[in-house]
Chain A
């Protein structure tokens, strides 16, 4: 049966079909939908599925399950691999008995702001085989392929996707559910394998890991998946001395160009990108004089091809990123790959839109700056924070506010322009301490969301307390991991769908030794501002917890809030509300011959009430209270 599935949904289907027992992960674009797809079916599937507190914990849980003989899979975006690396390095040395698959989605082209990190290097540095996904069907098929290889070699396997695979939907053949024998959880004590005490054991494990890697390469080279996809595939065009070596998401555009322009050339598709199929590559290189390497992000395959050509002592033109035929930055569009093939084949391929049309269109384009959602509690928090800074007689550009990952970083944008920096999960609190030790005399403020705080914000907070760094940490607690699609986290309100235990951020902070702590409701501007002023003035570590549920989730859960409207007679059309809050529910009507200028609150308003507070003429009024 065929179904329209995105790459991530196909991975989820692959998990169901491959008899996986434990699935863990931490949300991160473009990887999130694997668990989002599975979670509602958790009970029915009888699989343990969870959003863990961070990627490292998620990985460790999966590793433990695989050590007990079960199939386990962990999901993350590329940034998450940085977080698991410490544990992965050790687990890779020990290997596993049940299959252990690490699904990572890279983001070439940056669909969600973060470095364009190339996770393939981790496969090399961690000595873990890696499969690179080139289609949505592969997403489904390769889950089982990865488990199969993992169990055959007795070690973890990476399954790597990119945005153009994970977020694109395609017709995928589903329904070949694997029948695995039921496994009892069993873990045999073997400290030579599972501990790292002593050089001899560690080096023996190192050798085992290298052996597993070589074994994986052998298995993968001639592997054909359930629906007939060859992991590594060579196509030789007899009459051509030109070739392409490619891996991953570039496959679609590459094959499209071959078909469209009826190009005949040899190609080699690499599905296992670590370790590379060296013999296969060498054989391929024997048949060509000029080769183009198509891979997104870093020239990883390209440098290896150069090394192999050198060993073969063969004079061959190798085109790719190092000779600047193609860029390192960004994903590979149709146009980029077409350009690469033009250079390879020394021809010109038609055709593109008139540059004049595109230039004129570019000039007319309307910019749509990002803002907080309608009713977002963070709007109230940043509004109060800016006001507190102003009331304390500081200039806006002399107070450093470090930002963190997630929705809270939107405080960097207009109209608030509060956050100055964005680094990594939890980093706002650490970076802020550095500013203080560097000698910044004025207050330094760190902002961070609830999920980010749980993920990696607690150790730097403990450090600040322990080292007595005067600092204000504002935790914007909206109860959800909202940016990536409203996942739950340890601070999520227990609701009927997820009968979870709510970890109280206030208690966590008190337990870390925080003595000055304020809880504010971002919808209550005046009180929030007052408490923020006190927190900023405090000479030690202070914490402000801005607690109010994500407006989109609150709306979904039918939380009752007041309704507002603009009294047009009182509205002077001054636009203070619009300029200070940038709420997408506000519509400004400029003056015409028939009416004066005025504001309107449209039906999408969720009732946060900030505009009522901001309006200087009292033109915004409650028409229905929320009770």
Chain B
């Protein structure tokens, strides 16, 4: 068995933290894990992406058309994952848009949701839209977008809920309760969509 997860976002969204939690969860489950992260100028709002490979894999990077799950934390950054989406895989599309300066003044330059959705549809993957920021806000912690997405992923990948929460306890330095609430809300959202 092999499970490849690709996460795309921008600095400050907690993409790497999300990847770390998934990687550590899998390690504790006794799996072989590879975790690649591209941070670059993340501190300065730059692109961030990471890849988690679970199971009997050798390379640290997901080969083309092999990502079972893609988590798009920031919409336009998701475009970079298209090469890797597996036909029949799942793409979690977060509604979040983070504008660099020239887009702030010309928002029309940002790709339209429809255009992005269309491209992902052509990959023959299952698309799931989620408004992680809204769900996180309702859980009392707007910045816990990544944890909401972790919840949704945990449902999709049939992760053991309690084990993931235990990993959260180790990896979340502050506001643990609100993070757990965000996690549950994300999990339930994905569960609700499945029904």
Chain A contact residues, CB within 8 Å of chain B = 2-4, 111, 164, 167-171, 251-256, 259-260, 333-335, 351-354, 357-358, 360-362, 364-373, 552, 575, 578, 582, 584, 587-588, 590, 604
Contact = CB atoms under 8 A, between A and B. Distances in A.
Contacts of A168: 34-36, 60
Nearest to A353: B83
Nearest to B24: A4
Interface in B94-114: 100-105, 107, 109-111
Contact of A575 (B59, B100, B105, B119): B105
Contact of A366 (B37, B85, B110): B110
Contacts of B56: 259
Interface in B142-190: none
A370 B103 contact: no
A570 to B, nearest CB: 20
A481 to B, nearest CB: 14
A361 B82 contact: yes
Nearest to B109: A366
A368 B100 contact: yes
Contact of B23 (A4, A251, A353, A590): A4
A252 B105 contact: no
B65 A353 contact: yes
Interface string B14-35: 0000000001100100011111
A255 B32 CA distance: 15
A259 B82 CA distance: 24
Q: Majority SS of interface residues in chain B? A: mixed
A143 B30 CA distance: 26
Chain B: number of interface residues, binned into ranges:
35 or more
Nearest to B43: A373
Given A4-B23, A371-B45, A578-B101, A167 B37 contact: yes
B170 to A, nearest CB: 12
A255 B104 CA distance: 45
Candidate in B37, B47, B60, B84 with the most chain A CB atoms within 10 angstroms: B60
B88 interface: no
Contacts of A111: 38, 40
B89 to A, nearest CB: 12
A361 B80 contact: yes
A57 B110 CA distance: 49
21 contacts: A4-B23, A168-B35, A169-B23, A169-B36, A251-B58, A253-B59, A255-B58, A256-B63, A259-B58, A334-B63, A351-B65, A352-B64, A353-B83, A353-B85, A357-B122, A361-B79, A364-B111, A364-B116, A365-B76, A587-B104, A590-B104
B27 A367 contact: no
Given A253-B61, A578-B104, A590-B107, A371 B115 contact: no
B83 A167 contact: no
A351 B60 contact: no
Candidate in B32, B47, B82, B84 with the most chain A CB atoms within 10 angstroms: B82
Given A353-B123, A372-B44, A588 B105 contact: yes
Nearest 6 interchain pairs by C-beta: A255-B58, A256-B59, A252-B59, A364-B111, A366-B76, A169-B35
A351 B65 CA distance: 8
B10 interface: yes
Contacts of B115: 364
